[in-house]
Chains A and B, each alone.
Chain A
Amino acid sequence: MKDNHQSSQREGSDVLAELERLPRVPAPPSLLPTVLLRTGTADAYARVLTPIGPVFIACNRQGISALAREREPAQFEAEFRARFGRPVCRVEALPEPYAAALAGQLSTDVSDTAMFDLRGITDFERRVLMKALEIPRGEVRSYGWIAKEIGRPQAVRAVGTALKHNPIPLLIPCHRVVHSDGSIGEYLFGGDTKRIVLETEGAAPDVIERLGRSGVRFVANPDDGTFCLPTCGRSHLHDNFQGRGLRTERDAFAAGLRPCRDCRPAVMTS
Protein backbone atom coordinates (compact mmCIF):
# COMPACT_ATOMS: atom_id res chain seq x y z
CA MET A 1 0.00 0.00 0.00
CA LYS A 2 2.76 2.37 0.99
CA ASP A 3 4.55 1.59 -2.25
CA ASN A 4 1.43 2.38 -4.25
CA HIS A 5 1.16 5.77 -2.66
CA GLN A 6 4.81 6.52 -3.19
CA SER A 7 5.01 5.40 -6.79
CA SER A 8 1.68 6.76 -7.90
CA GLN A 9 2.40 10.19 -6.55
CA ARG A 10 6.11 10.82 -6.27
CA GLU A 11 5.58 14.48 -5.59
CA GLY A 12 5.09 14.81 -1.82
CA SER A 13 5.94 11.18 -1.06
CA ASP A 14 8.27 12.69 1.54
CA VAL A 15 5.13 13.17 3.67
CA LEU A 16 4.80 9.41 4.06
CA ALA A 17 8.46 9.04 4.92
CA GLU A 18 8.11 11.84 7.43
CA LEU A 19 5.07 10.23 9.03
CA GLU A 20 6.96 6.97 9.38
CA ARG A 21 9.91 8.80 10.90
CA LEU A 22 7.84 10.41 13.65
CA PRO A 23 9.56 9.08 16.78
CA ARG A 24 7.82 6.83 19.26
CA VAL A 25 7.72 8.83 22.47
CA PRO A 26 8.08 6.72 25.63
CA ALA A 27 5.36 6.99 28.24
CA PRO A 28 6.29 9.20 31.20
CA PRO A 29 7.50 7.28 34.31
CA SER A 30 4.41 8.32 36.24
CA LEU A 31 2.05 6.45 33.91
CA LEU A 32 2.63 2.87 35.05
CA PRO A 33 2.47 3.47 38.83
CA THR A 34 -0.57 5.73 38.46
CA VAL A 35 -2.44 3.10 36.46
CA LEU A 36 -1.48 0.32 38.88
CA LEU A 37 -2.54 2.38 41.89
CA ARG A 38 -5.81 3.50 40.32
CA THR A 39 -6.71 -0.07 39.41
CA GLY A 40 -5.64 -1.35 42.82
CA THR A 41 -3.22 -3.80 41.25
CA ALA A 42 -0.32 -2.28 43.18
CA ASP A 43 -0.02 -1.27 46.81
CA ALA A 44 1.07 2.24 47.74
CA TYR A 45 3.77 2.97 50.28
CA ALA A 46 5.03 6.04 52.03
CA ARG A 47 7.74 6.99 54.50
CA VAL A 48 6.43 7.54 57.99
CA LEU A 49 8.31 8.64 61.11
CA THR A 50 7.93 6.43 64.16
CA PRO A 51 9.52 6.12 67.64
CA ILE A 52 12.05 3.71 66.12
CA GLY A 53 12.87 5.95 63.17
CA PRO A 54 11.58 6.22 59.62
CA VAL A 55 9.68 3.24 58.24
CA PHE A 56 7.88 2.39 55.03
CA ILE A 57 4.20 1.55 55.40
CA ALA A 58 2.34 -0.05 52.50
CA CYS A 59 -1.40 -0.24 52.03
CA ASN A 60 -4.11 -1.08 49.54
CA ARG A 61 -7.90 -1.03 49.47
CA GLN A 62 -8.04 -3.97 51.88
CA GLY A 63 -5.91 -2.27 54.50
CA ILE A 64 -2.35 -1.76 55.66
CA SER A 65 -0.27 -4.58 54.22
CA ALA A 66 3.32 -4.08 55.35
CA LEU A 67 5.66 -2.11 57.53
CA ALA A 68 9.43 -2.23 57.22
CA ARG A 69 12.37 -0.08 58.17
CA GLU A 70 13.23 2.55 55.61
CA ARG A 71 15.74 1.31 53.06
CA GLU A 72 16.60 1.85 49.42
CA PRO A 73 13.20 2.20 47.70
CA ALA A 74 14.20 -0.21 44.92
CA GLN A 75 15.21 -2.78 47.52
CA PHE A 76 11.95 -2.40 49.43
CA GLU A 77 9.95 -2.67 46.20
CA ALA A 78 11.78 -5.84 45.19
CA GLU A 79 11.32 -7.41 48.63
CA PHE A 80 7.66 -6.47 48.69
CA ARG A 81 7.09 -8.05 45.30
CA ALA A 82 8.96 -11.19 46.33
CA ARG A 83 6.89 -11.54 49.50
CA PHE A 84 3.43 -10.44 48.38
CA GLY A 85 3.55 -11.17 44.66
CA ARG A 86 2.44 -7.70 43.56
CA PRO A 87 4.11 -4.36 42.90
CA VAL A 88 4.25 -1.47 45.33
CA CYS A 89 4.54 2.20 44.29
CA ARG A 90 5.89 5.06 46.33
CA VAL A 91 3.57 7.94 47.18
CA GLU A 92 4.10 11.11 49.15
CA ALA A 93 1.67 10.20 51.90
CA LEU A 94 -0.63 7.33 52.77
CA PRO A 95 -4.22 7.82 51.67
CA GLU A 96 -7.12 8.20 54.03
CA PRO A 97 -8.23 6.61 56.24
CA TYR A 98 -4.77 5.29 57.04
CA ALA A 99 -3.01 8.62 57.23
CA ALA A 100 -5.51 9.91 59.75
CA ALA A 101 -5.48 6.70 61.76
CA LEU A 102 -1.71 6.71 61.99
CA ALA A 103 -1.23 10.43 62.52
CA GLY A 104 0.60 11.00 65.77
CA GLN A 105 -0.31 7.66 67.24
CA LEU A 106 2.08 5.13 65.79
CA SER A 107 2.79 2.22 68.07
CA THR A 108 -0.23 3.04 70.11
CA ASP A 109 -3.32 1.14 69.22
CA VAL A 110 -4.54 0.79 65.70
CA SER A 111 -6.72 -1.96 67.06
CA ASP A 112 -9.29 -1.79 64.30
CA THR A 113 -8.55 -5.17 62.75
CA ALA A 114 -10.33 -4.09 59.58
CA MET A 115 -7.41 -1.72 58.94
CA PHE A 116 -5.06 -4.58 58.09
CA ASP A 117 -4.70 -6.61 54.95
CA LEU A 118 -3.53 -10.01 56.13
CA ARG A 119 -4.24 -12.00 53.01
CA GLY A 120 -1.53 -14.47 52.18
CA ILE A 121 -0.75 -15.62 55.69
CA THR A 122 -2.02 -18.82 57.29
CA ASP A 123 -5.10 -18.95 59.49
CA PHE A 124 -2.87 -19.79 62.46
CA GLU A 125 -0.65 -16.76 61.83
CA ARG A 126 -3.70 -14.55 61.48
CA ARG A 127 -5.10 -15.73 64.82
CA VAL A 128 -1.74 -15.11 66.52
CA LEU A 129 -1.49 -11.57 65.11
CA MET A 130 -5.11 -10.73 65.89
CA LYS A 131 -4.53 -11.92 69.46
CA ALA A 132 -1.40 -9.75 69.74
CA LEU A 133 -3.59 -6.80 68.72
CA GLU A 134 -5.64 -7.34 71.88
CA ILE A 135 -2.66 -6.70 74.18
CA PRO A 136 -3.13 -3.18 75.53
CA ARG A 137 -0.44 -0.56 75.19
CA GLY A 138 1.90 -0.56 78.17
CA GLU A 139 1.34 -4.26 78.84
CA VAL A 140 3.00 -7.48 77.74
CA ARG A 141 1.93 -11.11 77.43
CA SER A 142 3.90 -14.30 76.97
CA TYR A 143 4.15 -16.50 73.88
CA GLY A 144 2.46 -19.18 75.98
CA TRP A 145 -0.41 -16.81 76.79
CA ILE A 146 -1.10 -16.25 73.08
CA ALA A 147 -0.92 -20.00 72.45
CA LYS A 148 -3.42 -20.65 75.22
CA GLU A 149 -5.76 -17.84 74.16
CA ILE A 150 -6.04 -19.08 70.58
CA GLY A 151 -6.71 -22.61 71.76
CA ARG A 152 -3.31 -24.06 70.80
CA PRO A 153 -1.55 -24.24 74.19
CA GLN A 154 1.18 -26.55 72.86
CA ALA A 155 2.08 -24.30 69.93
CA VAL A 156 4.30 -21.85 71.84
CA ARG A 157 7.19 -22.08 69.39
CA ALA A 158 4.88 -21.70 66.42
CA VAL A 159 3.49 -18.54 68.03
CA GLY A 160 7.05 -17.18 68.18
CA THR A 161 7.58 -18.01 64.53
CA ALA A 162 4.31 -16.38 63.49
CA LEU A 163 5.20 -13.19 65.36
CA LYS A 164 8.67 -13.17 63.81
CA HIS A 165 6.99 -13.06 60.38
CA ASN A 166 4.52 -10.34 61.30
CA PRO A 167 4.23 -8.33 58.07
CA ILE A 168 3.09 -5.21 59.96
CA PRO A 169 5.27 -4.95 63.08
CA LEU A 170 4.79 -1.98 65.38
CA LEU A 171 1.16 -1.55 64.26
CA ILE A 172 0.40 -5.19 65.07
CA PRO A 173 2.27 -5.13 68.38
CA CYS A 174 4.28 -8.34 68.34
CA HIS A 175 6.75 -6.42 70.51
CA ARG A 176 4.28 -6.80 73.41
CA VAL A 177 4.89 -10.54 73.49
CA VAL A 178 7.76 -11.63 75.78
CA HIS A 179 9.01 -14.83 77.38
CA SER A 180 7.04 -16.30 80.28
CA ASP A 181 10.00 -15.67 82.61
CA GLY A 182 9.76 -11.97 81.88
CA SER A 183 12.81 -11.75 79.62
CA ILE A 184 12.03 -9.42 76.73
CA GLY A 185 13.49 -11.67 74.05
CA GLU A 186 14.00 -11.16 70.38
CA TYR A 187 12.22 -8.93 67.89
CA LEU A 188 12.28 -8.68 64.14
CA PHE A 189 13.74 -5.17 64.52
CA GLY A 190 16.17 -6.45 67.19
CA GLY A 191 15.86 -6.97 70.96
CA ASP A 192 17.11 -3.47 71.79
CA THR A 193 14.46 -1.91 69.61
CA LYS A 194 11.82 -4.02 71.33
CA ARG A 195 12.87 -2.53 74.68
CA ILE A 196 12.73 0.98 73.23
CA VAL A 197 9.23 0.47 71.85
CA LEU A 198 8.02 -1.03 75.14
CA GLU A 199 9.63 1.82 77.05
CA THR A 200 7.88 4.32 74.77
CA GLU A 201 4.60 2.63 75.56
CA GLY A 202 5.26 2.78 79.30
CA ALA A 203 5.77 -0.95 79.77
CA ALA A 204 9.03 -0.69 81.80
CA PRO A 205 10.97 -3.63 80.33
CA ASP A 206 13.62 -3.44 83.08
CA VAL A 207 11.01 -3.89 85.79
CA ILE A 208 9.37 -6.71 83.85
CA GLU A 209 12.69 -8.54 83.59
CA ARG A 210 13.65 -7.93 87.22
CA LEU A 211 10.32 -9.29 88.44
CA GLY A 212 10.73 -12.28 86.17
CA ARG A 213 14.19 -13.01 87.53
CA SER A 214 12.86 -12.83 91.07
CA GLY A 215 10.35 -15.52 90.16
CA VAL A 216 7.23 -13.35 90.22
CA ARG A 217 4.73 -14.47 87.55
CA PHE A 218 1.45 -13.10 88.94
CA VAL A 219 0.31 -10.34 91.21
CA ALA A 220 -2.40 -10.52 93.86
CA ASN A 221 -5.02 -7.80 94.13
CA PRO A 222 -6.34 -8.34 97.66
CA ASP A 223 -8.84 -5.48 97.26
CA ASP A 224 -11.00 -7.32 94.78
CA GLY A 225 -9.78 -10.88 95.33
CA THR A 226 -8.23 -11.34 91.91
CA PHE A 227 -4.77 -12.04 90.55
CA CYS A 228 -3.21 -10.64 87.38
CA LEU A 229 -0.25 -10.78 85.08
CA PRO A 230 2.34 -8.24 86.29
CA THR A 231 1.72 -5.68 83.54
CA CYS A 232 -2.07 -5.88 83.63
CA GLY A 233 -3.55 -2.43 84.03
CA ARG A 234 -5.19 -3.49 87.30
CA SER A 235 -2.00 -4.60 89.06
CA HIS A 236 -0.14 -1.27 89.39
CA LEU A 237 3.28 -2.30 88.18
CA HIS A 238 4.82 0.94 89.40
CA ASP A 239 4.59 0.08 93.11
CA ASN A 240 6.71 -3.06 92.63
CA PHE A 241 3.91 -5.06 94.15
CA GLN A 242 5.31 -4.89 97.70
CA GLY A 243 4.61 -8.40 98.84
CA ARG A 244 1.78 -9.03 96.33
CA GLY A 245 3.93 -11.10 93.95
CA LEU A 246 3.01 -14.72 93.30
CA ARG A 247 5.22 -17.43 91.79
CA THR A 248 2.59 -19.83 90.51
CA GLU A 249 -1.08 -19.75 89.77
CA ARG A 250 -1.42 -22.64 92.23
CA ASP A 251 -0.32 -20.18 94.95
CA ALA A 252 -2.93 -17.74 93.72
CA PHE A 253 -5.77 -20.22 93.79
CA ALA A 254 -4.58 -21.45 97.21
CA ALA A 255 -4.91 -17.88 98.45
CA GLY A 256 -8.53 -17.89 97.24
CA LEU A 257 -7.90 -15.45 94.39
CA ARG A 258 -9.77 -15.47 91.05
CA PRO A 259 -8.00 -14.88 87.74
CA CYS A 260 -8.47 -11.33 86.40
CA ARG A 261 -10.94 -11.14 83.55
CA ASP A 262 -8.88 -8.56 81.66
CA CYS A 263 -5.50 -10.30 81.45
CA ARG A 264 -6.76 -13.88 81.90
CA PRO A 265 -3.55 -15.04 83.63
CA ALA A 266 -4.45 -18.63 84.50
CA VAL A 267 -3.84 -21.79 82.54
CA MET A 268 -5.84 -23.82 85.06
CA THR A 269 -9.50 -22.95 85.50
CA SER A 270 -9.52 -22.97 89.30
Chain B
Amino acid sequence: MSRDSTTLIIDEADLPTVLAVDLARGFEGLVLAYQDRLFSFALRLTSSPQDAEEIVQDAFIRAYNALRTYPPERRRMLVLRPWLYQIVLNVTRNRMRGRRVDQTTLDDEETKWHLLLADDETRQPEVIYERDERQGHLITMLMELPARYREAVILRYVEDLSYADMSRILEQPVGTIKSNVHRGVVLLREARTAEPDEVRS
Protein backbone atom coordinates (compact mmCIF):
# COMPACT_ATOMS: atom_id res chain seq x y z
CA MET B 1 0.00 0.00 0.00
CA SER B 2 1.53 3.25 -1.06
CA ARG B 3 1.73 6.30 1.13
CA ASP B 4 0.06 8.63 -1.32
CA SER B 5 -3.36 10.16 -1.82
CA THR B 6 -5.01 6.79 -1.23
CA THR B 7 -4.16 6.97 2.43
CA LEU B 8 -5.87 9.42 4.65
CA ILE B 9 -4.17 11.92 6.84
CA ILE B 10 -6.04 13.04 9.94
CA ASP B 11 -4.87 16.04 11.88
CA GLU B 12 -3.27 14.81 15.08
CA ALA B 13 -5.49 16.98 17.24
CA ASP B 14 -8.60 15.41 15.69
CA LEU B 15 -7.45 11.81 16.15
CA PRO B 16 -9.15 11.13 19.50
CA THR B 17 -12.46 12.38 18.12
CA VAL B 18 -12.16 10.28 14.97
CA LEU B 19 -11.17 7.26 17.08
CA ALA B 20 -14.30 7.76 19.17
CA VAL B 21 -16.57 7.97 16.13
CA ASP B 22 -14.96 5.50 13.72
CA LEU B 23 -12.29 3.31 15.29
CA ALA B 24 -11.06 1.65 12.08
CA ARG B 25 -10.62 4.91 10.23
CA GLY B 26 -9.16 6.67 13.23
CA PHE B 27 -6.73 3.83 13.82
CA GLU B 28 -5.27 4.09 10.32
CA GLY B 29 -4.83 7.80 10.90
CA LEU B 30 -3.18 7.07 14.23
CA VAL B 31 -0.66 4.68 12.67
CA LEU B 32 0.12 7.19 9.93
CA ALA B 33 0.56 10.00 12.44
CA TYR B 34 2.80 8.10 14.89
CA GLN B 35 4.61 5.34 12.99
CA ASP B 36 7.76 7.38 12.25
CA ARG B 37 8.11 8.73 15.80
CA LEU B 38 7.45 5.37 17.43
CA PHE B 39 9.76 3.52 15.04
CA SER B 40 12.51 6.04 15.68
CA PHE B 41 11.94 5.74 19.43
CA ALA B 42 12.09 1.93 19.35
CA LEU B 43 15.15 2.10 17.13
CA ARG B 44 16.97 4.35 19.61
CA LEU B 45 15.97 2.06 22.48
CA THR B 46 17.16 -1.11 20.75
CA SER B 47 19.49 0.06 17.96
CA SER B 48 18.05 -2.74 15.84
CA PRO B 49 15.78 -1.86 12.87
CA GLN B 50 14.33 -5.38 12.82
CA ASP B 51 13.50 -5.32 16.52
CA ALA B 52 12.16 -1.80 16.21
CA GLU B 53 9.75 -2.74 13.43
CA GLU B 54 8.45 -5.77 15.32
CA ILE B 55 8.13 -3.78 18.51
CA VAL B 56 6.14 -1.02 16.86
CA GLN B 57 3.91 -3.52 15.04
CA ASP B 58 3.15 -5.24 18.32
CA ALA B 59 2.65 -1.92 20.06
CA PHE B 60 0.10 -0.74 17.48
CA ILE B 61 -1.75 -4.03 17.70
CA ARG B 62 -1.88 -3.77 21.49
CA ALA B 63 -3.11 -0.22 21.11
CA TYR B 64 -5.82 -1.35 18.71
CA ASN B 65 -6.94 -4.18 20.97
CA ALA B 66 -7.15 -1.76 23.88
CA LEU B 67 -9.02 0.83 21.84
CA ARG B 68 -11.56 -1.78 20.84
CA THR B 69 -12.43 -2.41 24.46
CA TYR B 70 -12.63 1.30 25.35
CA PRO B 71 -15.99 3.03 25.15
CA PRO B 72 -16.05 5.98 22.70
CA GLU B 73 -15.82 8.53 25.51
CA ARG B 74 -12.62 7.01 26.80
CA ARG B 75 -11.11 7.03 23.32
CA ARG B 76 -12.06 10.67 22.98
CA MET B 77 -10.24 11.54 26.21
CA LEU B 78 -7.03 9.68 25.38
CA VAL B 79 -3.77 11.61 25.42
CA LEU B 80 -2.32 9.66 22.54
CA ARG B 81 1.34 10.59 22.58
CA PRO B 82 2.32 9.43 26.08
CA TRP B 83 -0.10 6.51 25.82
CA LEU B 84 1.55 5.19 22.62
CA TYR B 85 5.10 5.85 23.80
CA GLN B 86 4.32 3.92 26.96
CA ILE B 87 3.06 0.92 24.99
CA VAL B 88 6.22 0.94 22.86
CA LEU B 89 8.35 1.21 25.97
CA ASN B 90 6.58 -1.72 27.64
CA VAL B 91 6.86 -3.94 24.56
CA THR B 92 10.54 -3.01 24.30
CA ARG B 93 11.23 -3.77 27.95
CA ASN B 94 9.55 -7.17 27.64
CA ARG B 95 11.70 -8.03 24.65
CA MET B 96 14.91 -6.76 26.21
CA ARG B 97 14.21 -8.94 29.21
CA GLY B 98 14.09 -11.85 26.83
CA ARG B 99 10.36 -12.25 27.22
CA ARG B 100 9.57 -12.83 23.64
CA VAL B 101 6.18 -14.28 24.42
CA ASP B 102 3.95 -12.69 21.87
CA GLN B 103 0.86 -11.54 23.67
CA THR B 104 -0.35 -9.49 20.81
CA THR B 105 -1.66 -12.11 18.42
CA LEU B 106 -5.35 -11.61 17.93
CA ASP B 107 -6.07 -15.31 17.94
CA ASP B 108 -4.22 -18.60 17.80
CA GLU B 109 -4.37 -18.94 14.06
CA GLU B 110 -3.50 -15.43 13.04
CA THR B 111 -2.73 -15.19 9.37
CA LYS B 112 0.89 -14.80 8.33
CA TRP B 113 0.89 -12.01 5.80
CA HIS B 114 3.39 -11.86 2.99
CA LEU B 115 3.22 -8.32 1.75
CA LEU B 116 3.84 -7.47 -1.85
CA LEU B 117 5.21 -3.96 -1.84
CA ALA B 118 5.34 -1.70 -4.85
CA ASP B 119 8.74 -1.34 -6.51
CA ASP B 120 9.24 2.19 -5.24
CA GLU B 121 8.64 0.93 -1.70
CA THR B 122 11.07 -1.97 -1.83
CA ARG B 123 13.73 0.13 -3.50
CA GLN B 124 14.03 2.45 -0.54
CA PRO B 125 16.76 5.01 -0.47
CA GLU B 126 19.60 3.96 1.78
CA VAL B 127 18.19 4.52 5.26
CA ILE B 128 20.58 6.39 7.48
CA TYR B 129 20.61 5.03 10.99
CA GLU B 130 23.71 6.93 11.97
CA ARG B 131 25.42 9.74 10.15
CA ASP B 132 29.02 9.08 11.03
CA GLU B 133 31.34 7.24 13.33
CA ARG B 134 30.82 9.74 16.11
CA GLN B 135 27.07 9.24 16.00
CA GLY B 136 27.61 5.50 15.91
CA HIS B 137 29.66 5.80 19.05
CA LEU B 138 26.96 7.83 20.75
CA ILE B 139 24.41 5.11 19.94
CA THR B 140 26.77 2.48 21.35
CA MET B 141 27.16 4.54 24.51
CA LEU B 142 23.39 4.87 24.79
CA MET B 143 22.99 1.10 24.53
CA GLU B 144 25.55 0.63 27.28
CA LEU B 145 23.61 2.80 29.72
CA PRO B 146 21.41 1.09 32.29
CA ALA B 147 17.88 0.97 30.84
CA ARG B 148 16.37 3.50 33.27
CA TYR B 149 18.91 6.13 32.22
CA ARG B 150 18.76 5.24 28.54
CA GLU B 151 14.96 5.50 28.46
CA ALA B 152 14.95 8.81 30.29
CA VAL B 153 17.67 10.37 28.12
CA ILE B 154 16.07 9.24 24.86
CA LEU B 155 12.60 10.45 25.82
CA ARG B 156 13.97 13.80 26.94
CA TYR B 157 16.65 14.64 24.39
CA VAL B 158 15.99 12.49 21.33
CA GLU B 159 12.20 12.42 21.40
CA ASP B 160 11.95 15.87 22.99
CA LEU B 161 9.07 14.97 25.32
CA SER B 162 8.03 17.10 28.29
CA TYR B 163 8.65 15.94 31.83
CA ALA B 164 4.87 15.79 32.28
CA ASP B 165 4.55 13.32 29.38
CA MET B 166 7.60 11.41 30.58
CA SER B 167 6.02 11.08 33.99
CA ARG B 168 2.98 9.41 32.43
CA ILE B 169 5.09 7.16 30.22
CA LEU B 170 7.55 6.04 32.89
CA GLU B 171 4.99 6.15 35.72
CA GLN B 172 7.52 7.92 37.92
CA PRO B 173 7.54 11.29 39.67
CA VAL B 174 9.15 14.12 37.70
CA GLY B 175 11.93 14.39 40.33
CA THR B 176 12.99 10.79 39.80
CA ILE B 177 12.96 11.25 36.03
CA LYS B 178 15.02 14.43 36.17
CA SER B 179 17.54 12.68 38.31
CA ASN B 180 17.71 9.73 35.86
CA VAL B 181 18.08 12.07 32.89
CA HIS B 182 20.86 13.90 34.69
CA ARG B 183 22.63 10.72 35.69
CA GLY B 184 22.34 9.36 32.16
CA VAL B 185 23.84 12.49 30.65
CA VAL B 186 26.69 12.44 33.16
CA LEU B 187 27.46 8.83 32.24
CA LEU B 188 27.37 9.66 28.54
CA ARG B 189 29.80 12.53 29.08
CA GLU B 190 32.12 10.32 31.05
CA ALA B 191 32.02 7.73 28.32
CA ARG B 192 32.67 10.41 25.72
CA THR B 193 35.67 11.69 27.67
CA ALA B 194 37.01 8.17 27.98
CA GLU B 195 36.53 7.42 24.32
CA PRO B 196 39.45 6.64 22.04
CA ASP B 197 41.12 9.56 20.32
CA GLU B 198 40.28 8.61 16.77
CA VAL B 199 36.57 8.83 17.51
CA ARG B 200 36.97 12.04 19.40
CA SER B 201 38.73 14.01 16.72
Contact = CB atoms under 8 A, between A and B. Distances in A.
Interface of A: 1-2, 5, 9, 11-12, 14-16, 18-42, 44, 46, 73-74, 77-78, 81, 85-93, 95-96
A38 B193 contact: no
Interface stretch (B25-33, B69-77, B78-86, B89-97): B25-33
Contacts of A19: 138, 153-154, 157-158, 188
B147 interface: no
A31 B129 CA distance: 17
Contact of B189 (A11, A35, A38): A11
8 contacts: A1-B181, A25-B129, A27-B35, A31-B35, A35-B35, A90-B115, A91-B113, A95-B111
Dominant SS among interface residues on chain A: mixed
Contacts of B36: 24-27
A41 B27 CA distance: 8
A38 B160 contact: no
Interface of B: 1-7, 24-25, 27-28, 31-32, 35-40, 43-44, 49, 53, 56-57, 60-61, 64-65, 106, 110-118, 121-122, 124, 127-129, 131, 134-135, 138-139, 153-154, 156-158, 160, 163, 178, 181-182, 185, 188-189, 192-193
Contact of B115 (A15, A16, A27, A89): A89
A5, A15, A86, A92 — most chain B CB neighbours (10 Å): A15
A258 B153 CA distance: 86
A27 B28 contact: no
Given A30-B115, A39-B64, A78-B5, A25 B127 contact: yes
Contact of B39 (A12, A25, A85, A92): A25
B61 A38 contact: yes
Contacts of A5: 182, 185
A27 B53 contact: yes
Contacts of A35: 31, 35, 57, 60-61, 64
Nearest to A35: B60
A2 B163 CA distance: 12
A90 B185 contact: no
A28 B53 contact: yes
Contacts of A18: 134-135, 138
A223 to B, nearest CB: 51
A37 B37 CA distance: 21
B48 to A, nearest CB: 12
A19, A20, A21, A96 — most chain B CB neighbours (10 Å): A19
Contacts of A95: 111-113
A39 B160 CA distance: 30
Contacts of A1: 156, 163, 178, 181
